[in-house]
Structure 1
Amino acid sequence: MKWQQALADYKMYLKIERGLSQNTINNYALDINKLIKHLEDNNIQESPLSISSEIVQQFIYEIAKKVNARSQSRIISGLRSFFNYLVFEDYIKTNPLELIESPKIGRKLPDTLSEEDINTIINAIDLSKPLGERNRAILETLYSCGLRVSELINLKISDLFFEEGFIKVTGKGDKQRFVPIVPETQKIINLYKNQVRVHDPIKEDFQDILFLNRRGKQLTRAMIFTIIKQLAEKVNLNKNISPHTFRHSFATHLLENGADLRAIQLMLGHESITTTEIYMHVDKSHLKDVMNTYHPRN
């Protein structure tokens, strides 16, 4: 079996059996392609069925010179998953990464913005331009609903259930959830949708997509990053922020204001509550408030 065939089979497994999103599958494939390139660059003829632990270890040693411990750990995890699949399918007997350990990394707390930071960024949008109304609706939706950037750009008009106070979100692995949306955000979305978007040329395949670019097509993830970076520079915000920062801020502010962790998990679409629990480490003052308010001994 050649590398590209093994990789194609693995990607199909991730899609069909694991139900992973295309973005996640692409990230897994990227790590495996780095190993393939290493083999080609060094004229190593080993196939995925015959590669040894020593060769994989040499590859990891090389990438350790170029990337930080977190990236190195992610690549090792991706490769381990790929070779576990080959073991599962009985192509190989043992995983060549079986005895290879990932570097120790600390648990990275998510970056967050204060409510004041978020208001400053949104207020910096030039609403005299049509794209201003769109960009305000984008940031309000990111923050108010805690969406991933991929969920935002795929949001459809038919996913808006404003009378019921919800939007339908398609998350990782095409899993759907309903997220509450506050009236103020509904108002801003409707302003963009009914007064700006209707005047734009819209390509046939994108009639139902909510947020569009100037050419009437779906926005890219990169475009959302660019909008946020430009606004952060405009207000001289000395923080490295991204669309995910708004999602982190959404969860953190809910927790700080007394929201239940299980409710936050459902709104974020986390499969495991352990993923949501990272927000418990952001501001421990909330835990003290909970204790003072609810503990019977207080």
Structure 2
Amino acid sequence: MNWKNAIKDYQLYLKIERGLSKNSVENYERDITKLVSFLNEKETHISPTTIDSHLIQEFIYQIAKKLNPRSQARIISGLRSFFDYLIFEDYRKDNPTDLLETPKIGRKLPDTLSHEEIDEILSAIDLSHPQGERNRAILETIYSCGLRVSEVINLQISDLFFEEGFIKVLGKGNKFRFVPIHQSTQKYILNYISYIRNHITPSKNEEDIVFLNRRGKRLSRQMIFMILKELALKANVEKKISPHTLRHSFATELLKGGADLRAVQQILGHESITTTEIYVHLDKSYLADVVNKYHPRKSN
């Protein structure tokens, strides 16, 4: 088995068996491709079924000079998954990454925005321009529903259940979930659909997509990043932010307001509750208030 065939088979496995998104599959592929490039530079002709731990350790040592511990850990994890797949398919008997020591990394807390900062960003939108109504609806949807950027660009009109107060979202692993949507956000989406989108001719296969560009195609992830970046600059919000920052801010505000952790997990579409728990650590003053309010000895 050569590397090209092994990577192709692995991609199919990730997509079909594990149901990973296109972006996730590409990230896994990128990790293996880095290893293959390293082997090519060394002019080492060895297959994925015979490569040993020494060569992989040498590869990790080389990338450690260029990448931070978090990036190193991700690549090691990606390679370990690849060789586990080869074992699963009986191409190998062992995993050459088993003896690799994963760099220790601290738990990175996501950036958040205050209510005021979000209002300032939304106020910077030029509503006199047709794309202004669309952009406001997009950012309000991400923030008020806690969506990933991939989820909002793929949102479909047939998945809007406004009478019931929900939208159906296609999340990671091609899993659907129902997310509550606030009436004000419903209003922004309906205004966009009724007064802006109805003047756009959707491209083929895009007829049901909610948010379209002027050519009738769904927006790209990069476009939404640029929209938010430009608005933050215009609003003088100096934090380094992305559409995911709106999702983080949404989750943090829910938990600060007393929302149940399990409920927030379901809304965000986190497979593991440990992913949701990171938001509990964001606001130390909030945690102190909880202790002061509910401590069993508060009355003593």
- Could you say which TM-score interval applies, normalised by the shorter chain? over 0.9
* Whole-angstrom CA distance in 1 between matches of 2:293 and 2:264: 20
Q: In the TM superposition, what is the alpha-carbon distance from 1:288 to its structure 2 partner?
A: 3.6
2:5 aligns with 5
Secondary structure at 2:9's aligned position in 1? Answer: helix
Letter in 2 for 1:237: V
Which residue is equivalent to 2:61?
A: 61
Which one-letter code corresponds to 1:46 in the other structure?
I
Write the mapping of 1:235-250 to structure 2, written as runs, cut at 5 A: 235-250=235-250
The equivalent residue for 2:224 is 224
Q: Distance in 2 between matches of 1:291 and 1:130?
A: 48
Question: In the TM superposition, what is the alpha-carbon distance from 1:200 to its structure 2 partner?
Answer: 1.6
CA shift, 1:278, in A, is: 0.5
CA distance in 2, matches of 1:180, 1:293: 29
Counterpart residue type for residue 195 of structure 2:
Q
Q: What is the deviation of 1:201?
A: 2.5
Distance in 2, Cα, partners of 1:292 & 1:208 = 50
1:118 is aligned to: 118
Quote the offset at 1:290 in angstroms: 3.5
Aligned partners of 1:289 and 1:157: how far apart in 2? Answer: 42
Shift of 1:295: 5.3
The offset of 1:258, in angstroms, is: 1.1
**Residues 255 and 286 of structure 1 are in contact (CA less than 8 Å); yes or no, is this contact kept in structure 2?**
no
1:174 shift after superposition: 0.8
Deviation at 1:204, TM superposition (A): 2.5
The Cα offsets for residues 25-49 of structure 1, whole Å up to 9 and x where unpaired, read as 1111111111111111221101101
Number of the residue aligned with 1:184: 184
Note the 1:1-298 alignment, pairs <5 A. Answer: 1-294=1-294, 297-298=297-298
Q: Deviations over 1:94-115 (max 9, x none)?
A: 1111110111110000110111
State the AA in 1 paired with 2:260.
Answer: D
- Paired with 1:213 and 1:61, the residues of 2 have a C-alpha distance of 45
Residue identity matched to 1:251:
A
8 Å CA contact 1:31, 1:79 repeated in 2? yes
Where in structure 1 are there 5+ consecutive unaligned residues?
none
TM-score of the pair, normalised by structure 2: 0.96
Partner of 1:217, secondary structure, is coil
In 1, Cα distance between equivalents of 2:281 and 2:287: 10
- Paired residues, what number? 298
Residue 240 of structure 1 and its aligned partner are, at CA, apart by 0.8
1:291: Cα distance to partner?
A: 4.0
Q: Is the 8 A contact 1:206 1:216 kept in 2?
A: yes
Identity of aligned residues (%): 66
Deviation at 1:294, TM superposition (A): 4.7
Give the stretch that moved more between structures: 227-236 or 188-197.
Answer: 227-236
Shift of 1:88: 1.7
CA-CA distance at 1:205 after TM superposition: 1.4
Letter of the 1:26 counterpart: E
More displaced, 36-45 or 185-194?
A: 36-45
Given that 1:127 and 1:133 are in contact with CA atoms closer than 8 Å, whether structure 2 keeps it comes out as yes
Deviation per residue, 1:118-162 (Å, 9 max, x gap): 110010000000000000001000100000011011000111000
The SS at the match of 1:205 is coil
Q: Amino acid of the residue matched to residue 188 of structure 1?
A: Y
Q: TM-score, normalization: structure 1? A: 0.97
Q: Distance in 2 between matches of 1:216 and 1:24?
A: 27
Q: CA RMSD in A?
A: 1.2
Task: State the SS of the aligned residue for 1:139.
Answer: helix
In structure 1, C-alpha distance between the alignment counterparts of 2:157 and 2:138, rounded to whole Å: 13
Q: Displaced runs of 4+ in structure 1, greater than 2 A?
A: 284-298
